[in-house]
Amino acid sequence: MKLASFHIAGKNTFGVVKDDGIVDLGARTGGADGLRGALRQGKLPELKEYADSTVADYALDDIRFLPTIPNPEKIICIGVNYVNRNEEYRDDSDLPKYPSVFMRTRESLVGHREHIVRPPESVQLDYEGEIAMIIGKEGRRIPEEEAAKHIAGLTVLNEGSIRDWLRHAKFNVTQGKNFERTGALGPWLVTADEFEDYGDLRVRTRVNGEERQNDTTANLLFPFPYLISYLSTFMRLKPGDVIATGTPSGAGARFDPPRYLKPGDEVEVEVPGVGTLINEVIDEQGL
């Protein structure tokens, strides 16, 4: 089942995608808190019934996509989580023992087909294609063997970065990861029952049709169950929380010379079995 958040007729809502249309589930379930609220209320079985029995209310071409979860309590991001990505640093360091973790704000992300914005402070806007987990069941200190039960499903993330702002301080990357509308989340959530496991999912990133990133979760340093177990050690994971699982090698900063995004570029992040997230880049001055 594919669940998307969207805007139409002056309202934000969410629904289930059926072919080229979408069923407005917010209108049918009284979903004041959108898809996050539906997950927190354990409504996935009810949503499945609507998906099976209801015809689409709108064409996908008529809606404006919002980030899959427009109002997450937490967006937790994992850095340097693919083996080849770690090797890009060429610092002869050992593989990390634990994940690198940082946070994003919800205002830093837009939806599918919305513009990603390059700010006036820098020309070093970069792409990072990723798979994102959406939490569906609350938990703390979750054992790895129980982790899959806490995943509502998967979505696609372009974890856009302002590279020179990642090093404004000595130890953190927060500034460069949180410029408004520099990343994107979507187009929808594919529910966990659509996946046998998460051990060999591919993520590809293309810029103007040229493939830049291509790797599989078989090469993760820290697989999905470990991430959930590790993160829930020190924070309570709640339905609607977003966990970005890391980007493969091939980001623009790693080319010589670097290949940063510029206005007019179109970025596609594809995860087969989930979807393709597409966004065009504009300058903030052009808004």
Residue 23 lies in a domain: yes
Three-state DSSP class for residue 235: coil
Tell me: cis bond preceding 257? Omega within 30 of 0 counts.
Answer: yes
My answer on whether 36 and 85 are in the same domain is no
My answer on whether 59 and 95 are in the same domain is no
My answer on whether 53 and 80 are in the same domain is no
pLDDT tens for 52-70 read: 888 999 999 999 999 999 9
Domain count, the chain: 2
Contact, 180 vs 108, CB < 8 A? yes
pLDDT at residue 171 in the model: 82
Residues 6+ apart with CB under 8 A from 135: 39, 150, 151, 152, 228, 237, 238, 239, 240, 241, 242, 243
pLDDT tens for 125-154 read: 999 999 999 999 999 999 999 999 999 999
Count of residues making up the chain? 287
My answer on whether 54 and 172 are in the same domain is no
pLDDT at residue 199 in the model: 96
pLDDT tens for 220-255 read: 999 999 999 999 999 999 999 999 999 999 999 999
Range of the domain at 235: 75-286
**Residue that is written with structure tokens 């078989």 in the block:** 218
Token pair recorded at residue 208: 């103007």
How many angstroms separate the CA atoms of 65 and 5, rounded? Answer: 6
Enumerate residue ranges in the chain where pLDDT < 50. none
My answer on whether 84 and 141 are in the same domain is yes
Residue 37 lies in a domain: yes
**What's the predicted TM-score (pTM) here?**
0.95
pLDDT at residue 286 in the model: 53
My answer on whether 56 and 90 are in the same domain is no
Cα 141 to Cα 57, 89, 146, 203, distances in angstroms: 41, 32, 10, 28
Residue 70 lies in a domain: no
